[in-house]
Amino acid sequence: MAAPRPRSDLRAETTAARLAALELPQGGFTAPARADALARLQAMGLPTRRDEYWKYTDPTTLTAADASPAAVLVDAEPPVFGAIDRLKIVFVDGVFDAAASDDLSLEGLEISRLADAGDIHWAQGLYGTLEAQGQIPVARPLAALNSAAATDGVLIRVTGRVSKPVELIYRHMSEASDAILHHLVKIDPQADVTILESGPGAARFNTAMEVDLGAKASFHHIRVQGSDHHRRAVTHVFARIASEATFKSFTLTMNGALTRNEAVLDIVGDHATAHVAGAAVGDAKSVPFHQDDTVFVTHAGTHCESRQVFKKVLKNGATGVFQGKILVKPGAQKTDGYQISQALLLDGDSQFLAKPELEIYADDVKCSHGSTSGAIDDTALFYLRSRGVPLAEAQALLVLSFLGDAIAEIEDAGIAGAITDRLEAWLARRL
């Protein structure tokens, strides 16, 4: 293969400037992992538009030395998961808020705060590990930056069946906040947990969550990214999925000048399941909306199933990006891989950019993907209107049904209902 392209001066300068603006945490059990991440970041440099996986999303505001300010949205809506009994862990502009959080003890869980974890911890062998593995074959410099520079986060060990979900609530209070959070979730064999996430987090928000699933473990993840308009976020989920384990993740994105959600799922065991889904709705009328899902699912085990279901509804010049890959390694026979990405463009200015990939090195597999883009179906719209449903309501109904396949990936009916309510409210305001 060709020698790696020499790093451009710009890339090196940007990386140096970003690092100079940071105060890197010192000491503690994460020190070796942080040093390793820093070295990797310096070798690869922060991303630029010239990188293959940043072709459709400009990373400049994510890599700049300082965060651009983002107005705080005064949210009139009740908390999205307010009706669900859950354990709340609150971060304000990226800093753990003990007073606002619940007591961190719950049967089947061990929760500690990254910032106070000390020198010895069960998470020592895990911190930065899945992130480092997730750098091959595609570099994810912002994740390496996260491992090197994260200032807070939670370390969750799941030892049994947990009675209620854990919610990570991210409040954005300061217009100039620039937060980096790193979470670990280690789920013991046969244990089971649901993690909820909600809120914008900060003006600029970089999160990474490493999820290690033991055999027959299950992980349910439902995330609602806050509806602040000016915020910019890059999120990473790295998962290692053992035999017969189940990983399911769903994300709802409403508003946001820039959102890049990366999911890197490594199915290492046999008979495992990995689903990742997303619904994004954006109206770029007054503030830009750019939403990017970049998903990489690797099948190394046999008899595994993976699904990627991504739906985007775009309005007034909004941009939706989907880059998804199913990689089936040699020997990963009986793989069932599925991927769908669809965009509904509500007007002529919005755009959908997609790169749905399959890379397959085993023969006894069933893999497929589909991608479509288009406007609302005029015939269906007319049919509804001919039955007396007003235009906006008819559009909302069709948009919701379009998003339905993604929402259907949420197993818990109560949570799915909370997501649908939030979407309906957004559609009522925007259509």
Query: Structure tokens of 201?
Result: 């987090």
Query: What's the rounded Cα separation, in Å, for the pair 360 and 221?
Result: 27
Query: What's the rounded Cα separation, in Å, for the pair 11 and 17?
Result: 10
Query: What's the rounded Cα separation, in Å, for the pair 261 and 237?
Result: 8
Nearer to another protein, 104 or 365 (CB): 365
Beta bridge partners of 259: 233, 291
Of the candidates 131, 134, 209, the residue with the CA atom closest to the CA atom of residue 168: 209
Q: How far is the CB of 366 from another protein (least distance, A)?
A: 6
Nearer to another protein, 240 or 312 (CB): 312
Q: Under a CB-based contact definition with an 8 Å cutoff, are residues 31 and 41 in contact?
A: no
Nearer to another protein, 39 or 380 (CB): 380
DSSP helix, strand, coil percent of the chain (3-state; round to 5): 25, 40, 40
Nearer to another protein, 163 or 401 (CB): 401
Nearer to another protein, 8 or 368 (CB): 368
Of the candidates 321, 326, 296, 299, the residue with the CA atom closest to the CA atom of residue 310: 321
Residues 6+ apart with CB under 8 A from 390: none
Residues that bind another protein (CB under 8 A): 1-2, 52, 330-331, 333, 343, 345-375, 377-380, 382-391, 393-394, 397-398, 400-402, 404-405
Q: How far is the CB of 95 from another protein (least distance, A)?
A: 40
Nearer to another protein, 17 or 362 (CB): 362
Handedness of CA 71, 73, 74, 79 (dihedral sign): negative
